[in-house]
Amino acid sequence: MFGYANPTKFMTLSGALLPWTVALTLLCIGAGLYLGFTAPPDYQQGTTVTMMFIHVPAAGVAERAYAVMVGAPIVRLVQRPLLADVG
């Protein structure tokens, strides 16, 4: 794992994996949106319940993004890894 601390090795690996991860991400997003919007209506709330399938996961992603934005500078200041500023 520490071999990928070398920026050349890391960028070579990430460049090779990027098209695959983009394709997998788009496939998962498409499947999630399709399943979220085609869910059957709830017996009490009707079709308004479908907004939970979009808003609840979006809120979770936003909370994780803020946690990463807090954690990344702390890791950068404490450990000083070589690739902390890549991205």
What whole-number distance in Å separates Cα of residue 71 and Cα of residue 6? 22
Band the pLDDT of 36: cuts 50, 70, 90.
confident
What whole-number distance in Å separates Cα of residue 59 and Cα of residue 80? 31
Angle between helices 52-79 and 7-37 (to 10 degrees): 160
Predicted pLDDT of residue 17:
95
- Global confidence as pTM: 0.61
